[in-house]
Amino acid sequence: MRFLMSHDLRHNFYLRVLLLVYFASLLLFLALNIELELFRYGLTPSALIANLLGNEELFIRAKDLTTLMTEIHVNLFLYPLAQLTTLSTLVHLKMSDRAKVIATLSSTVFILMDIGGVLLIRFVAPWTAWLKVIGFWGFEVSMFLMVIMVLGYLLGKPQGHPVHHG
């Protein structure tokens, strides 16, 4: 993560192109993640409950524990990794430190709500489905906004003089 040391990432053409490609791919990931979430769990509390706990009337079997843990495990890797890269670039934007801290904390809380909501529905109480719904959409929207801000930064004109590292 040497690029964190650069004052303005836009001075390094290779790094700039690399980050533009990464963040364009991340936008595609976030868009496809909505479809995946719809397929795996559903996007409403009632669909979440039916898919996690089962629904005899709709002939839906409860999600087995192995599949559930695998999905949680993958999300616990992908979501924070996407968040880390985004926030590592976001720190270079001209915005207040308070806004950067809020972006960091809110996206982290949304990840925990998303993952925790699944576990709470399955092992505690179905009404916690709202926690999962808010966590998922909060993560999606916060990441989407941060990625758009970062892409705007990367497409902008570099400021100041390039910093050389030896």
- Whether 28 is in a domain gets the answer yes
| Predicted confidence (pLDDT) at residue 162 exceeds the cutoff of 60 | no
In a domain, 12, yes or no: no
Determine if residue 23 is left, alpha or beta; phi over 0 gives left, psi from -120 to 50 gives alpha, anything else beta: alpha
Would you state the torsion angle of the CA atoms of residues 33, 2, 151, 136, taken in this order, to the nearest 10 degrees?
A: 30
- Per the structure, the count of domains in the chain is 1
Residue 164 to residues 3, 4, 160, Cα–Cα distance (Å): 11, 13, 13
pLDDT digits (tens, 9 = 90+) for 9-62: 877 888 889 999 999 999 999 999 999 999 999 999 999 999 999 888 878 888
Domain assignment present for 164:
no
Alpha-carbon Rg of the chain, whole angstroms?
A: 19
Per-residue pLDDT averaged across 122-142, rounded?
96
Does 161 reside within a domain? no
Q: Has residue 1 been placed in a domain?
A: no
pLDDT of res. 158: 83
Domain-located, residue 13: no
Domain for residue 6, yes or no? no
Confidence (pLDDT) at 166: 47
* Domain span including residue 121: 18-155
pTM: 0.86
Residue 10: inside a domain: no
